[in-house]
Amino acid sequence: MTATNRRSSLGLEDVFGHEGRLAGAFEGYQPRAGQRRMAELIRDAINDQHTLVLEAGTGVGKTFGYLAPVLLSGKRALISTGTKHLQDQLFDRDLPRLRELLGVEAKVALLKGRANYLCKYRLDLAGEQARLPRRDDARALNRIRDWAGRTIDGDRADCPGVGDDHEIWPLVTSTNDNCLGRECPLYDECFVVKAREKAQKADIVVINHHLFCADLALRQTGFAELLPETDVVVLDEAHQVPEIASMFFGEAIGSRQLRDLAADTRAEQKHEARDQPGLAEAADTLKASTDPVLEALAHIDNERLPWAELADQASVTEALDRLGEALDGLVRELEIAAPRGKGLQALLGRAQGLRDELAAFREGKAETQGHAVRWVERRTRSFTLHTTPVNAAGQLKSHVESAPRAWIMTSATLAAGKDFSHFTRRMNLDDARCEQVESPFDFPNQAVLYLPPNLPEPSGPGGAREHTLASLRAVYPLLKASGGRAFLLFTSHRALKLAAETLGEHLTELPLFVQGTQAKSALLEAFREAGNGVLLGTQSFWEGVDVRGEALSLVMIDRIPFAAPGDPVRAAREQRLKDKGLVPFVHMALPEAIITLKQGVGRLIRDTADTGVMVLCDPRLQSKGYGRTILDALPPMRRTRDGRVARDMLTRPTESQEKSAENAI
């Protein structure tokens, strides 16, 4: 990254003070002590080049709290966000606005993973493949072709008429496996290359955690060239990083990769090796060989199963034997065809890589040494064989310590109460400074935490179904009192489905918005516009969702979000903790549940004028010893077991309603 450093003469008082730049730009601005404190801590970390782990409560103003000291420092910085949506928000809105306010001439670049950029070579190839997954894909392909001639940066999110989740995109974007690199005939027109070149020249590069971790793991997608010259790394929504890192520091081979390899081989064979029918036959054999594996795994009830429970099943091992033989056959044919073109050479490398990954998975050397766990993921139409590190902390620490620089890791949820040890252990941060900046919200007056009495245990005689129905009975009067304006958040899709069916029958006067019926962004927009909606969602609505004002006044969470049992990676991590003399429930399950619950609870109060009721329907919060630990880690809302208190909170006039009444008099 080569850029011009320009340290600003402004101080933090010039930005956050009563007469600072923010006060002059935003009507009604009130300085926030927490935001100022956050900025001071980050300024010191940048100056001292140390690692700061900082939990900033909801309403602190976290984004400007870290952007201001980064911009004022004049240092080269890498900012990584939890989602592409937040990444775009930083690049398109927050950074330009603050850069202008501060008068800082920093060059800013946006860098996404290569799958987000149109690949012109694969776009040309797609026209020859005749393997469009859905009937309307021909129209989508034509729209992409039309847009390809106009787009400047090739970001697929900007393509009109083709959603970011459309099935056509894998055909016209590249991966690390199928990219031809400098051998590509369209290399000079490559949007990925252009995005990297901009990043190289920038003072600040905005990326996301998936790209951050993928680049740390692969060291070949451009980030390896950025990090050595970066003075500051900011990880926003840092609580997500350990899990994402585990995924990228592991290995995986799946049916989608294999089928894509077969399809790409078919396309190149038609283009470069028409006189080698054996190549097409080998590709077809590979594609067909994924079906027996899927059939052999069809009996598995759990979508994630340790390999140890499958390794002795003849149907599984025989299917994988045939898959390995199919890969060997394709490699042999590609070795013959490779001299004919760069595309065929790249396919040979992919086939050899997948063959070696399959062999490594079955050998299980990393698992034998205790560093990783092998497991199988089975879905309706696909499977993936995973080798996941039990703990990615070692790899993360090596990058943190690779050169003197400041590392800022921030989120609204990093600590379990006041304890950061769960996060720092997973990140292997021995010397990090850990700080909390409290939320400025007046939680005792803005929110009531309602704990309904007499609810059955989720694992009680009636099971999860009876618990869900009892939870709905408890929240039903509150939905009536609030006139909707509610999120009902569940820990399982089964509970979500039951709730949708039950409320659809008994709550006909209020509009229901159910996860899965439309895209998340569209669902949220419809909920906001309705003004009296009830949104039902699972994990994806627990964080990264911001609904302010009167549109949301009631949030229900059905259960303490303990991780589901049976996950092979978690089982391996639990064993690792036991080997160290630690208790897995205390040192992993409980802090994880607290952090996740804090995210869900954080949906309710998003502004100083917001009021509402949080309903937690898990009786273990009152009956188990750890319940108090969980409750004490949440914002200090006024607690009650009396439904009348909760209803009164929902029916009292809001601040905006009181102002409207005053104006009407």
Q: What is the mean pLDDT of residues 106-135?
A: 83
Please provide the average confidence, as pLDDT, over all residues in the chain. Answer: 90
The pLDDT value given to residue 166: 85
Residue 180 pLDDT level (bands cut at 50, 70, 90): confident
Collapse the DSSP code of 610 into the 3-class scheme (helix H, G, I; strand E, B; otherwise coil) and give the result. coil
Q: What is the mean pLDDT of residues 640-653?
A: 92
Cα angle for residues 143, 148, 153 (degrees, 5° grid) = 130
- 251-389 fold: Four Helix Bundle (Hemerythrin (Met), subunit A) (1.20.120)
- On the question of pLDDT at 349 being above 50, the answer is yes
Q: pLDDT per residue over 155-177, tens digit each? A: 998 999 898 878 899 889 998 88
Residue 655 pLDDT level (bands cut at 50, 70, 90): low
The pLDDT value given to residue 176: 82
- On the question of pLDDT at 99 being above 60, the answer is yes
| pLDDT more than 70, % of the chain | 94
Residue 256 pLDDT level (bands cut at 50, 70, 90): very high
Highest mean pLDDT pick, 1-5, 28-32, 379-383, 529-533: 529-533
Residue 422 pLDDT level (bands cut at 50, 70, 90): very high
Q: What is the mean pLDDT of residues 562-575?
A: 91
Phi, psi of 345, deg, nearest 5? -65, -40
Tokens representing residue 200 in the block: 């190289």
- On the question of pLDDT at 115 being above 60, the answer is yes
By the 10 Å C-beta count (0-12 exposed, 13-18 middle, 19+ buried), 277 is classed as exposed
Select the CATH number that applies to the domain covering 12-107+201-243+393-437 from these four: 3.30.2130.10, 3.40.50.300, 3.30.499.10, 3.30.420.40: 3.40.50.300
Residue 217 pLDDT level (bands cut at 50, 70, 90): confident
Q: pLDDT per residue over 598-619, tens digit each? A: 999 999 999 999 999 999 999 9
Q: Give residue for tokens 């930083």.
A: 90
Q: What is the mean pLDDT of residues 373-387?
A: 93
The pLDDT value given to residue 664: 37
Residue 134 pLDDT level (bands cut at 50, 70, 90): low
443-662 shares the fold of 12-107+201-243+393-437: yes
Whole-model pTM? 0.89
Distance CA(570)–CA(562), nearest Å, equals 12
Distance CA(54)–CA(41), nearest Å, equals 9
The pLDDT value given to residue 301: 66
Q: What is the mean pLDDT of residues 423-435?
A: 93
DSSP 91: I
E-assigned strand segments in 99-244:
108-110, 204-208, 232-236
Q: pLDDT per residue over 282-327, tens digit each? A: 999 999 999 999 999 988 766 889 999 999 999 999 999 999 999 9
Residue 612's beta-bridge partner residues? 447
The pLDDT value given to residue 657: 46
Q: What is the mean pLDDT of residues 143-147?
A: 94
Q: What is the mean pLDDT of residues 246-257?
A: 91
- Can you say how many angstroms the Cα of residue 643 is from the centroid of all Cα atoms in its chain? 35
HSE-CB of 163 using CA atoms within 13 angstroms: 9
Highest mean pLDDT pick, 134-143, 164-173, 625-634: 625-634
Residue 214 pLDDT level (bands cut at 50, 70, 90): confident
Is 101 within 8 Å of 21 (Cβ atoms)?
Answer: yes
Quick one: 443-662 is in which CATH superfamily?
P-loop containing nucleotide triphosphate hydrolases (3.40.50.300)
By the 10 Å C-beta count (0-12 exposed, 13-18 middle, 19+ buried), 623 is classed as exposed
Highest mean pLDDT pick, 16-30, 458-472, 486-500: 486-500
- On the question of pLDDT at 132 being above 70, the answer is no
Distance CA(271)–CA(495), nearest Å, equals 51
Collapse the DSSP code of 118 into the 3-class scheme (helix H, G, I; strand E, B; otherwise coil) and give the result. strand
Phi, psi of 422, deg, nearest 5? -60, -45
DSSP secondary structure string for all residues of 27-84: TT----HHHHHHHHHHHHHHHHT-EEEEEE-TTS-HHHHHHHHHHHHT--EEEEESSH
Cα-Cα-Cα-Cα torsion 513, 517, 519, 525, nearest 10 degrees, comes to: -20
The pLDDT value given to residue 222: 45
State the angle between helix axes of 95-102 and 62-73 in degrees (0 to 180), rounded to the nearest 10. 50
Highest mean pLDDT pick, 5-14, 53-62, 226-235, 392-401: 53-62
Distance CA(627)–CA(209), nearest Å, equals 32
The structural domains of the chain, with segments of one domain joined by +, span 12-107+201-243+393-437, 114-191, 251-389, 443-662
Q: pLDDT per residue over 554-567, tens digit each? A: 999 999 999 988 89
Is 423 within 8 Å of 452 (Cβ atoms)?
Answer: no
- On the question of pLDDT at 219 being above 50, the answer is yes
Residue 85 pLDDT level (bands cut at 50, 70, 90): confident
Tokens representing residue 371 in the block: 């560093």
Cα angle for residues 429, 432, 434 (degrees, 5° grid) = 115
Q: What is the mean pLDDT of residues 581-599?
A: 96
Residue 625 pLDDT level (bands cut at 50, 70, 90): very high
Residue 419's beta-bridge partner residues? 416
Closest CA to 121 of 180, 194, 182: 180
Q: pLDDT per residue over 459-480, tens digit each? A: 877 789 999 999 999 999 999 9
Q: What is the mean pLDDT of residues 178-191?
A: 91
The pLDDT value given to residue 493: 93
Is 240 within 8 Å of 82 (Cβ atoms)?
Answer: yes
Residue 663 pLDDT level (bands cut at 50, 70, 90): very low
Euclidean distance between the first and the last CA atom of the chain, given in angstroms as a whole number = 61
The pLDDT value given to residue 665: 35
The pLDDT value given to residue 638: 97
Phi, psi of 465, deg, nearest 5? -60, -50
